[in-house]
Amino acid sequence: MNTFSHTLLFGTVFLLTLKELTEACSCFPTHPQQQFCNADVVIRGKVISKEFINAKNVDRQVRYGIKMIKMFKGFHKIKDIDSVYTSAESSMCGIELDVVKKMEYLLTGHLWENKVTISLCGLSIPWKDVSAFQMESLSSTYQMGCNCKITYCYVESCDTRAPNECLWKDWVYEHTLGGQEAQNYACIQRKDGSCIWYPRLPVKQPIYGSHP
């Protein structure tokens, strides 16, 4: 399993008991394009420092110092980013970034009180694991589909009747949330308002119930 798949799967916690419901972070599977469209800020940045904020309080946070390399979204809201904030607790969807190796990440975040906050429910992909298609789409293609709806499918029978909808079937065909449709496709809106995967998806055959 690559790092991208691990990031998304780690952020998707299925709660089995009431105790887990109150203590665990839960994130619904979300396509990278949706993460881009939903975020206030999308950047490529290098982690350079880490410090705890309100360390003695229950709601303690971690402040990561960031050297921003490129901003893909959010420049109309904030001009420069030198830090991002997250909960210090994984149960509160806090995320751990590698400051020892000074890792570069693709990060999606939200603005709160003029601070950029990140969480397990957003993207925090090591830049080395970002696909070439994703790199290109961050600057153009993803934005073309922000009025589209990407529906997560976990069974083969998943279907749609909405013209502005794309079905995301990585889990059905590859048993991963970081498959080909996540890494190499975007759902874009056409002139007539309908949406389609770009580039056009090949016809896939079901992998269940097949016989030799």
**Dihedral sign, Cα of residue 99, residue 102, residue 106, residue 108:** positive
- Helix (H/G/I), strand (E/B), else coil: 50: strand
What contacts 40, CB < 8 A, 6 or more positions away?
73, 74, 77, 109, 110, 111, 116
Kindly state the percentage of the chain with pLDDT values over 90: 69
Upper half-sphere CA count for residue 155 (Cβ side, 13 Å): 4
Which CA distances in Å does 68 have to 5, 74, 149? 24, 13, 30
Q: So where are the chain's domains?
A: 3-198
pLDDT by residue (tens digit) across 40-96?
999 999 999 999 987 677 678 999 999 999 999 998 888 889 999 999 998 899 999
Look up residue 99 and give its amino acid: V
* Residue 125: pLDDT over 70: yes
pLDDT by residue (tens digit) across 9-23?
444 433 333 334 335
CA angle 142, 202, 169 (to 5 degrees): 65
Q: Which two tokens stand for residue 46?
A: 């290098």
Q: What is 3-198's CATH topology?
A: OB fold (Dihydrolipoamide Acetyltransferase, E2P) (2.40.50)
Q: Which two tokens stand for residue 121?
A: 């429910």
Spatial separation of the C-alpha atoms in residues 123 and 102, rounded to whole Å: 18
pTM value is 0.81
Instruction: Please report which confidence band the pLDDT of residue 127 belongs to, taking 50, 70 and 90 as the band edges.
Output: very high
More confident residue, 75 or 125: 125
pLDDT on residue 204:
60
Spatial separation of the C-alpha atoms in residues 47 and 66, rounded to whole Å: 5
